[in-house]
Chain A
Amino acid sequence: MEKRVTFSNTWLAVALILPQILLVFVFFYWPAGEALYWAFTLERAFGGGNQWVGLYNFTSVLSDPKYLASVRVSMLFAVCATTLSLGIALLLALFVDRRLAGYQVYKFTFFLPYALAAPAVGLAFRFIFAPDAGFFSAINDFFPGLWNPAFDGTDALVLIIIAQAWSMVGYNFIFFLAGLQSIPRSISEAGAMDGAGVLRRMWDLQLPLITPTLFFLIVINVTDSFVNSFGIVDITTGGGPARATDLMVYKIYNDGFQGKDYSLAAAQSIVLMLLIVALTFIQFRFVERRVHYS
C-alpha cells in the first residue's frame, strides 16, 4: 500500500529517518557484521590483531559435545515450553470465547504473567519449586528425595520449562482470543444450524481458521524461549546441575563474558542468529502462504 499524496522535500525526509538509521547501524548492523568477523578469526596469542581462521571456530564449536548438548537442551526446552503454553492458551481462549457468564474477568486477568520480567518469574518459580522450602517441597515429605532441581538435571529442566510456559501463556492467550474474535459469528452460527455442536465447531471451524495465528505464535514462542530464557536460567539454575539447563544464550554469555572467549561466543551467536533467521524465514515464506483462508 502506498500513499497517493506525498511531500517532496527529500532532505527533510532524510533528516527524519536519520536518527533511526544511525541507531540501527551502530547497534545492529555493525555488531552483526563484527560478529561475523570474529567468528572467522582468532585473536593472536601475543597481540597484534586477529588472524583469519576460516571455519575453524565453527568446526570447533560444532564438534564440542558441550555445545551440542546445549543445542539439544535448548531445542527440548523450546519445544516443551512452546507446546505446553500454546496448548493451555488455546484451550483457555476457546473456552473464554464461548462467552459464558464472567468471561470478561478471564479476559482481563489471564495475560498478567506476561508483565513480569523473566528473572522475576525465575525467582518466583525457584522458590515455589525449591526442594526444602516453598510450595512444592511438600511432595518430598511423601516421597523423600523425589524432587530436587538442585541435583537432578531433569527436575531443573522441568522447572524452567514450567516457568517459561507460565510466563508466555497470557501472551498467547491474547493472540488466540483476538484471532477467535475476528472470526465472523455467522460462520459459527451456520455451523450450529447444520447441527454441529460446540466441540465440533471448535475443532472443524475455529481451529482451522486460527492456524495463521498458531504458526505466528510458534515462531514468537520459540524465539522467545531462546531469548527470554536467560533471565529464568540465570536466576533459577545457573545452567546447572551439570549443564542440564545450559541453554544457548546462557552459554554464549558464559563463554563470552565469564570465559572471555569472544571468537567462540561469536561463532555461537552466528549459529543462533542463523537459527532464528531460518525460523522467521520459514514463517514468512511457507507458513504464511500455505495457511491462508481469508
Chain B
Amino acid sequence: MIERTPILNAVTHAVLVISLLMLLLPLWIVIVAASHDFHTVNQVPMPLWPGGHLLENLAVAWDKGNFDRVVVNSFIVAGGVTAGKIGIAALSAFSIVYFRYRFRMLMFWLIFVTLMLPLEVRIVPTYAVAANALGPFQSILNFIGIEVSLPRWNLLNSYSGLILPLVATATGTFLYRQFFLTVPDELTEAAKMDGAGPLRFFFEILLPLSKNNMIALATIMFVWAWNQYLWPLLIITDHANYATATMQLQKVVPASHVDAPPVWNLAMAANLIVLVPPVLVTILLQRWFVRGLISTEK
C-alpha cells in the first residue's frame, strides 16, 4: 500500500529500535557482567562493554556449578521428555483420530483436561506419587480387596522421576490430533485398499507426513523441559548425581538477602551457561519453534 506517513514511520522505527535494545539489554548485561573480574563488575555504574575475563569466569563457574555433570543431566532430561512426548503423543492421537471405539471421546477429554493445570499447581500431591509411582495401583488393588503387594517404585532422585511427570500432559496429543484431522481420507482409503494395516499406515504414511509437526513439537518440548526448575528442585536431593542445570542457579545466589551479595561475575557466567542451549535451539530452529508455539496452544 502506498501511503506517506513520514512522522508515524519515524515513530515506528524509533519505538521498534528502542524496544529491541530494551529486550536485548538484559541479555547483554548478563554477557558483560560475566566477562569482568569481581572488582570491576561491582563498580557503580557498571561497565557496559565486555571485559577480558569471560572464558576464565566461565571455566570457574563451570567447575563450581558441577556443570560437567548437570549439563549432561539436563540433556538427558530434556531429550527424554522430548522423545517421550513425541512418541506417546503420536500414538495416542492416532488412536483417538483413526479408530472408533466406545469412550473414545472420554479418553480425548481426559487427556485434554490436563492442559489446564500445569505441574507447578499440583506439586504437593504429584510429589507424593513420585515417592511411589505404583502407589495409585496399590491403593486401587487394596480397595477392591485383592491381596497383592506391588513393588515400590521410587521416582525420587532418578531420571524417570524427572522425565515421566513432565511427559504426562496433553500438549503434543492435541498438536498431532489437529494435524491428523487435516490428512485427507483418500490416503487412508488407498492404504487400506493396498492392504496396509493400521500400524503400517501409521509408520509409513502418517509419521513421514508429520515430520514438520514433530520438529516443531521437539523444539518446544526441549526448551520447556530444559527450563524446568521447581519439579527437579523438589524430587532431587542427590545433587551430586541428578541435579539439572537450572537448579544450579539457586546455588550461585545466597539463600537470603541479608547474606553477602553473590559473586556477580561468576553468577552471570553460570547463568550464561544455563541459558545458552535453549536460546541456541530457538534461534537455530526458529521457524519450527514459532510454528510449534502457535499450534500447541490453540
**Chain A residues within CB distance 8 Å of chain B:** 1, 3-10, 12-14, 16-17, 19-21, 23-32, 34-35, 38, 88, 91-92, 95-96, 98, 100, 103, 105-106, 108-128, 130, 132-135, 137-138, 140-141, 150, 166, 169-171, 174-175, 178, 188-189, 192, 197-199, 216, 220, 223, 226-228, 230-231, 234-235, 237-238, 240-241, 249, 252-253, 256-257, 262, 265-266, 269, 272-273, 276-277, 280
Looking at the assembled complex, report how far the CB atom of A24 sits from the nearest CB atom of chain B, in whole angstroms.
5
> With A1-B181, A106-B20, A235-B253 given, is the CB distance from A272 to B278 under 8 Å?
no
Q: Which residues of B contact A121 (CB under 8 A)?
A: 26
Q: Which of A17, A96, A112, A277 contacts B16 (CB 8 A)?
A: A96
Give the total of B residues in contact with A, Cβ under 8 Å.
109
Q: Contacts A16-B95, A111-B290, A135-B46 known; A126 to B253 CB distance under 8 Å?
A: yes
Q: Of A3, A21, A135, A166, which one neighbours B188 at CB under 8 angstroms?
A: A3
Q: Which of A30, A150, A192, A253 contacts B257 (CB 8 A)?
A: A150
A32-B125, A135-B29 known; A12 vs B198 contact (CB < 8 Å) = yes
Listed A/B pairs (6) with beta-carbon separation below 8 Å:
A6-B99, A24-B111, A29-B110, A92-B15, A123-B268, A175-B294
A198 near B3: Cβ-Cβ < 8 Å = yes
Set B20, B126, B267: member contacting A127, Cβ < 8 A? B267
Cβ contact of B42, chosen from A4, A115, A133, cutoff 8 A: A133
* Stretch of B52-60, B62-70, B144-152, B225-233 contacting A (4+ beta carbons < 8 Å): B225-233
Q: How far is the CA of A216 from the CA of B100 in the complex (A)?
A: 32
Nearest CB to that of A167 among chain B residues?
Answer: B26
Residues of B within 8 A of A92 (CB): 15-16, 19
Name the residue in A112, A171, A216, A280 with the highest tally of chain B Cβ atoms < 10 Å from its Cβ. Answer: A112
Decide: A276 and B185 in contact? CB cutoff 8 A.
Answer: no
Given A13-B95, A117-B275, A198-B3, A20:B44 Cβ within 8 A: no
A34 touches B129 (CB 8 A): yes
Given the complex, which residues of A lie within 8 Å of B100, measured CB to CB?
Answer: 6, 8
A120 close to B271 (CB less than 8 A): yes
Contact at B101–A134, with CB atoms within 8 Å?
Answer: no
| Interface-central residue, A14, A169, A235, by most chain B CB under 10 Å | A235
The 8 A CB mask of B261-278 against A (1 = contact, 0 = none) is 110100110010011001
Report yes or no: A112 in contact with B125, Cβ–Cβ below 8 A. no
Q: Is the interface of B mostly helix, strand, loop or mixed?
A: helix
For residue B97, CB closer than 8 A to chain A, the reply is yes
A6 contact from B43, B98, B293, Cβ within 8 A = B98
Chain A residue numbers with a CB within 8 Å of B118 are: 223, 227
Whether the pair B297, A17 counts as a contact (CB closer than 8 A) is no
**Distance (whole angstroms) from the CB of A263 to the closest CB of chain B:** 10
Question: Do A28 and B114 contact each other (CB < 8 Å), given the known contacts A123-B253, A174-B293, A269-B125?
Answer: yes
Known: A109-B24, A227-B121, A266-B125. A127 touches B264 (CB 8 A): yes
Closest to A30 in B: B136
B45 on the A face (CB < 8 A): yes
Q: Chain A residue with minimal CB distance to B234?
A: A257
Q: Which residues of chain A come closer than 8 Å to B185, judged between CB atoms?
A: 3-5
Q: Which residues of B contact A91 (CB under 8 A)?
A: 15
Residues of B within 8 A of A10 (CB): 99, 101
List chain B residues, Cβ under 8 A from A216: 297-298
Knowing A3-B97, A28-B114, A96-B16 touch, does A23 contact B121 (C-beta < 8 A)?
A: no
Q: Is A141 touching B44 in the complex (CB atoms < 8 A)?
A: yes
Check: B86 CB closer than 8 A to any chain A CB. no
With a cutoff of 8 Å between Cβ atoms, the chain B residues found around residue A188 in the complex are 1
Q: Name which residue of chain A comes closest to B113, CB basis.
A: A28
Q: How far is the CA of A109 from the CA of B252 in the complex (A)?
A: 28
9 nearest A-B residue pairs (beta carbon): A31-B125, A117-B227, A13-B99, A20-B92, A16-B95, A23-B168, A27-B168, A17-B95, A138-B45
CB pair A109 B293 closer than 8 Å: no
A100 with B9, Cβ < 8 A, contacts A4-B185, A109-B24, A276-B116 known: yes
CA distance A280 to B297 in the complex (A): 13
B205 lies within 8 A of chain A by Cβ: no
B217 interface hit (Cβ, 8 Å)? no
Q: Which of B15, B25, B121, B124 counts the most chain A CB atoms within 10 A?
A: B124
Tell me whether A117 and B128 are in contact (CB under 8 A): no
Are B294's CB and A174's CB within 8 A? yes
B229 touches A230 (CB 8 A): yes
> Which B residues from 173 to 211 make CB contacts under 8 A with A?
173, 181, 185, 188-189, 192, 197-199, 201
A residues less than 8 Å from B262 (CB atoms): 127
Identify which of residues 13-57 in chain B touch chain A, using a CB-to-CB cut-off of 8 Å.
13, 15-16, 19-20, 23-27, 29-30, 33, 41-46
